[in-house]
A and B are shown apart, each in its own frame.
Chain A
Amino acid sequence: MQVPAALEYERASDVDHALNLLGRYGDTAKILAGGHSLLPMMKLRLATPEYLIDINDLHDELGYIRIDPTEARIGAMTRHRELLESDELGRMFPIFADAERVIADPVVRNRGTIGGSLCQADPSEDLSAVCTTLAASCVIRGPGGDRVVAMDEFHQGPYETAVGDDELLIELRIPVHPNGSSAYEKVERRAGDWAVVSAGAAVWLEDGVLSDARVGLAAVGPNTNGITAVSEACRGQAPSEELFARAGELAAQHCEPSTDQRGSADYKRHLAKELTVRTLRQAVRRIVERN
Chain B
Amino acid sequence: MTTTEPKRTERFEDNDQKPVGYGRMLRKEDPRFVRGKGRYVDDVQLPGMLHLAILRSPMAHARIVSVDTSAAEALPHVHAVVTGTMLADKGLAWMPTLSNDVQSVLATDKVRFQGQEVAFVVADDRYTARDALELIDVEYDPLDPVMDVRKALDEAAPVVRDEIEGKTDNHIFDWETGDAGATEKVFAKADVVVSEDIVYPRVHPAPMETCGAVADYDAVDGRLTLWSTTQAPHAHRTLYALVAGLPEHKIRIISPDIGGGFGGKVPIYPGYVCSIVASLVTGKPVKWMEDRSENLTSTGFARDYVMRGEIAATKEGKILAIRTHVLADHGAFNGVAAPVKYPAGFFGVFTGSYDLEAAYCSMSAVYTNKAPGGVAYACSFRITEAVYLVERMVSRLADELGVDQAQLRLDNFLRPDQFPYTTKTGWVYDSGNYEPTMRKAMEIAGYEQLRREQEQKRARGEIMGIGVSFFTEAVGAGPRKDMDILGLGMADGCELRVHPTGKAVVRLSVQTQGQGHETTFAQIVAEELGIPPADIDVVHGDTDQTPFGLGTYGSRSTPVSGAAAALVSRKVRDKAKLIASGMLEVSIADLEWEKGRFQVAGDPEQSVTIQDIAMRAHGAGDLPEGIEGGLEAQICYNPENLTYPHGAYICVVDIDPGTAHVTVRRFIAVDDCGTRINPMIIEGQVHGGLTDGVGMALMEMIAFDSDGNCLGGSLMDYLIPTALEVPDWETGYTVTPSPHHPIGAKGVGESATVGSPPAIVNAVIDALRPFGVHHADMPLTPSRVWEAMCGNPQPPI
A44 to B661, CA, bound (A): 31
Chain A residues 18-52 with CB under 8 Å of chain B are 40, 44
Choose among B131, B658, B699, B782 the residue that contacts A6 (Cβ–Cβ < 8 A).
B131
Give the shortest distance, in Å, between B795 (CB) and chain A (any CB).
Answer: 13
Cβ of A267 within 8 Å of any chain B Cβ, yes or no, is: yes
- Residues of chain B within 8 A of A266, CB atoms compared: 787
Cβ of A193 within 8 Å of any chain B Cβ, yes or no, is: yes
Choose among A2, A261, A264, A267 the residue that contacts B293 (Cβ–Cβ < 8 A).
A2
A192 touching B722 in the complex, CB below 8 Å, given contacts A5-B131, A263-B781: yes
Asked whether B782 lies within 8 Å of A263 as measured between CB atoms, the reply is yes
Cβ of B250 within 8 Å of any chain A Cβ, yes or no, is: no
Chain A residues 120-166 with CB under 8 Å of chain B are none
Stretch at the interface among B406-414, B450-458, B713-721: B713-721
Cβ of B397 within 8 Å of any chain A Cβ, yes or no, is: no
A3 touching B659 in the complex, CB below 8 Å, given contacts A189-B699, A264-B783: no
Choose among B126, B699, B786 the residue that contacts A190 (Cβ–Cβ < 8 A).
B699
Asked whether A2 lies within 8 Å of B291 as measured between CB atoms, the reply is yes
Asked whether B719 lies within 8 Å of A193 as measured between CB atoms, the reply is yes
Residues of chain A at interface, number, CB under 8 A: 28
- Residues of chain B within 8 A of A263, CB atoms compared: 781-783, 786
- Residues of chain A within 8 A of B661, CB atoms compared: 187
- Residues of chain A within 8 A of B771, CB atoms compared: none
Give the shortest distance, in Å, between B654 (CB) and chain A (any CB).
Answer: 15
Give the shortest distance, in Å, between A230 (CB) and chain B (any CB).
Answer: 18
Give the shortest distance, in Å, between A197 (CB) and chain B (any CB).
Answer: 9
Asked whether A274 lies within 8 Å of B703 as measured between CB atoms, the reply is no
Cβ of A79 within 8 Å of any chain B Cβ, yes or no, is: no
A6 touching B719 in the complex, CB below 8 Å, given contacts A191-B725, A261-B711, A264-B787: no
A263 to B289, CA, bound (A): 34
Asked whether A40 lies within 8 Å of B783 as measured between CB atoms, the reply is no
A271 touching B292 in the complex, CB below 8 Å, given contacts A5-B131, A189-B782, A261-B703: no
Cβ of B173 within 8 Å of any chain A Cβ, yes or no, is: no
Residues of chain B at interface, number, CB under 8 A: 30
Give the shortest distance, in Å, between B776 (CB) and chain A (any CB).
Answer: 14
B760-786 interface code vs A (CB 8 A; 1 in, 0 out): 000000000000000000000111001
A91 to B699, CA, bound (A): 35
Cβ of B130 within 8 Å of any chain A Cβ, yes or no, is: yes
A3 touching B719 in the complex, CB below 8 Å, given contacts A261-B703, A278-B658: no
Give the shortest distance, in Å, between B517 (CB) and chain A (any CB).
Answer: 27
- Residues of chain A within 8 A of B783, CB atoms compared: 196, 262-264, 267-268
A190 touching B722 in the complex, CB below 8 Å, given contacts A3-B126, A3-B127, A261-B703: yes
Cβ of B589 within 8 Å of any chain A Cβ, yes or no, is: no
Asked whether B786 lies within 8 Å of A44 as measured between CB atoms, the reply is no
Asked whether A189 lies within 8 Å of B291 as measured between CB atoms, the reply is no
Asked whether A267 lies within 8 Å of B787 as measured between CB atoms, the reply is yes
Give the shortest distance, in Å, between A98 (CB) and chain B (any CB).
Answer: 15
- Residues of chain B within 8 A of A40, CB atoms compared: 716
Asked whether A196 lies within 8 Å of B782 as measured between CB atoms, the reply is yes
Give the shortest distance, in Å, between A268 (CB) and chain B (any CB).
Answer: 8
Most A-side CB within 10 Å, residue of B659, B783, B786 = B783
- Residues of chain B within 8 A of A274, CB atoms compared: 658-659
Choose among B131, B293, B719, B722 the residue that contacts A44 (Cβ–Cβ < 8 A).
B293
A263's nearest neighbour on chain B, judged by CB, is: B783
Asked whether A190 lies within 8 Å of B725 as measured between CB atoms, the reply is yes
A187's nearest neighbour on chain B, judged by CB, is: B659
Give the shortest distance, in Å, between B710 (CB) and chain A (any CB).
Answer: 11
- Residues of chain A within 8 A of B699, CB atoms compared: 189-190
A203 to B377, CA, bound (A): 49
8 nearest interchain CB pairs? A263-B783, A191-B724, A267-B783, A2-B291, A274-B658, A190-B719, A187-B659, A3-B130
12 more contacts with CB within 8 A, not counting A189-B698, A264-B783, A267-B782, are A1-B126, A2-B291, A2-B292, A3-B127, A3-B291, A190-B724, A192-B722, A196-B782, A262-B781, A267-B783, A270-B786, A274-B659
The 29 listed contacts between A and B (C-beta, < 8 Å) are A1-B42, A1-B289, A2-B291, A3-B127, A6-B127, A6-B131, A44-B293, A44-B714, A105-B722, A187-B659, A190-B698, A190-B699, A190-B719, A190-B722, A191-B722, A196-B782, A196-B783, A261-B717, A263-B781, A263-B782, A263-B783, A263-B786, A264-B787, A267-B660, A267-B782, A267-B783, A267-B787, A268-B783, A278-B658
